[in-house]
Chain A
Amino acid sequence: MSTAGTARTAPGPGRVPGALWPYLLIAPTVLGTAYLLAYPLVRNLVISFQTYGMGELIRGGAPFAGLANYREILADPVFWEVVRRTFWWTAVNVVLIMVLATLVALMLQQLGRRTRLLVMSGLVLAWASPVIATTTVFQWLFSSRLGVVNWLLVRLGFDSYENYSWFADGSATFAVLVLLVVWQSVPFAAITLHAALLTVPAELYESARLDGAGAARIFRSVTLPVLRPLFALVLCLEVIWVFRCFAQIWAISKGGPGDATTTLPVYAYRIAQSLHRYDLGAAASTLTVLLLVGVLVVYFRQMFRQEGEL
């Protein structure tokens, strides 16, 4: 791109030398990040190397514990199960979100103006509804008594769903949570991908069709390449969001029943807040961050390469 032309120092107002401007502009961001993000992160890291329980939180004076917390977490079979579940949870959700979003985006492209507007506003409505409100609504939809989902299933002939308690069974709760997260996430992904599809010049389709390409072929050789960069971006954002997803799980199941819906963020929160083992919680969350960064290293690298081109 051609922003290089602006690299010359701008005649800034006042007596501030032009070369200082960028640094003044980013100063608030850097300061804010340092105090409100980096500093707490460091404190969290320090806690993870200390013995830090309720007493230490109240009185202060936490003793140094070395790697004991990490050793305890890594030796806990529950932790490894949670890690496995977190990856499973992320994979299921992200795959469903991406597939459905792509389908919806392709569908939007085919629709007439009025129908498209209707579907779009529906998606926007779902997307804009606050998480806490929709989470509550899902609890009501899946409520064991008078819940509309149970009613519908019984109506469709699945009599075993009469007063079925969705939140009593591990896999059922997991399924409801997946449904909720997918429902909340598809609109953003679909609308973004649809926007990307709009940028494909119509002539490209035209010429492909003239070449006698079928729908599948057109999708593979015209649509997909255009979609790819944005697809990657949306994919990464969804991975981050789903992996870190906490509010929905905590509100609906608190990680239960049993451990059936305990993902890493829930696990860390549970250890810290319920057992008052803030040290273990800090270690668990540090490991969570490392895992997530590991997953996203590819994303960062690509982002960085793109930035380099600017």
Chain B
Amino acid sequence: MSAAPRSASRRARIRRLPLHAAALLVFVLSVFPVYWMVLTAFKPTRDIQAETPLFLPVSVTLDHFTTAVGADGFWLFWRNSLVITASSVLLALIVALGAAFAVARLRWKGRRGFILMVFIAQVAPWEALLIPMYVIARDTGMLDRLSMLTLIYFMITLPFTIVTLRGFLTAIPVELEEAAQVDGCTRAAAFRRVTLPLLAPGLLATSLFGFITAWNEFAFANMLIIKNQDDRTLPVWLSSFSNVFGTDWGATMAASTLFALPVLVLFLVLQGRVAAGMTSGAVKG
């Protein structure tokens, strides 16, 4: 009696075998480089240089992290990066929220032109602007200032932030706000009490994008911070680090791990909300 269904389910399982093999392959391929980075960072040098690579942490050492952190001023650069990344992302969020609201909820003359401007700003060739930006910073006395970097990172992330936030905003039914207004709220209060909480996942997802972009930026940080070496950022330091340590892959990977850490932690903390936000934002975007 039960023979037929069992063989059917086995057949189904066999049919799904390639699918699961593919899933496993995708998982391994996407995780392996990150895994290898962390693993190398914890491996003793002797194991790193083994002729046959070790794929599991047999013995673990913190030596490479000590080298990386002890290199010089690591925490200073880490803090610099964190401060300018966070402030530029925050600034971009606030400014973009206003713009996204105007675009998604209000009707005004020049709206189309504004949207076009934002879209074009998204394809801005930032590397090409190094020299003009340098000249502008110099002529306004902003060289060697973290605030100039913050402004640039703000502008790099702004167009994308506006576009995504607008997507999230249009996904939230305007009727909710209107209902609150009927109940006697001002427009601003209605937005704050009703829309903003619904927008939270979107804000988080968007800020994560901005965070990654600003956290990674190298060219401007390298060009605009000249004399105040204490104001260098982590990517600049990391690049000199891989110069200094060359093929000391353990230390280099430890440094890379420490560099990736804040983004990954942020991602883990926000993961649930971000996934939800990304889905709705992307679909409407």
Contacts and interface: CB of A to CB of B under 8 A. Distances in A.
A12 B187 CA distance: 7
Given A29-B162, A195-B278, A137 B34 contact: yes
B141 to A, nearest CB: 15
B22 A128 contact: no
Contact of A44 (B31, B49, B112, B132): B132
B131 A129 contact: no
A171 B117 CA distance: 38
B124 to A, nearest CB: 6
Interface stretch (A34-42, A78-86, A209-217): A34-42
A219 interface: no
Interface in A17-38: 19, 21-26, 28-30, 32-33, 36-37
A83 B223 CA distance: 26
Given A33-B121, A265-B125, A282-B128, A125 B34 contact: yes
B25 to A, nearest CB: 10
Nearest to B124: A37
Contacts of A281: 128, 131
B48 A146 contact: yes
Interface residues of A, number: 100
A137 B34 CA distance: 8
Interface stretch (B3-11, B70-78, B263-271): B263-271
A275 interface: no
A285 B125 contact: yes
Interface string B49-78: 100110000000000000000000000000
B44 interface: no
A3 interface: yes
B125 A288 contact: yes
Contacts, number: 272
A122 B40 contact: no
Contacts of A196: 282-283
A128 B20 CA distance: 24
Contacts of A140: 36-37, 40, 249, 252-253
A307 B118 CA distance: 12
Nearest to A295: B123
B174 interface: yes
B247 interface: yes
Contacts of B197: none
B272 to A, nearest CB: 11
A151 B136 CA distance: 50
Interface residues of B, number: 97
Given A128-B212, A199-B283, A285-B125, A29 B99 contact: yes
A4 interface: yes
Contacts of A304: 112, 115-116
A124 interface: yes
B27, B28, B212, most chain A CB atoms within 10 A: B27
A146 B242 CA distance: 17
Interface in A21-67: 21-26, 28-30, 32-33, 36-37, 39-41, 43-44, 47, 57
A192 B235 contact: no
B19 interface: yes
Interface in B90-140: 95-96, 98-99, 101-108, 111-112, 114-133, 135-136
A3 B105 contact: yes
B279 interface: yes
B117 A33 contact: yes
B30 interface: yes
Contacts of B127: 244, 246, 265, 268-269, 285
Interface of B: 16, 19-20, 22-23, 26-31, 33-34, 36-37, 40, 48-49, 52-53, 95-96, 98-99, 101-108, 111-112, 114-133, 135-136, 151-152, 154-155, 158, 162, 170, 174, 178, 186-188, 208, 212, 215-216, 218-219, 235, 238-239, 242, 247, 249, 252-253, 256-257, 259-260, 263-264, 267, 271, 275, 278-280, 282-283, 285
21 contacts: A3-B170, A12-B188, A29-B162, A32-B154, A37-B155, A43-B132, A115-B23, A128-B264, A132-B216, A133-B257, A133-B260, A137-B34, A137-B36, A138-B33, A140-B36, A140-B40, A186-B30, A247-B219, A269-B127, A292-B125, A303-B119
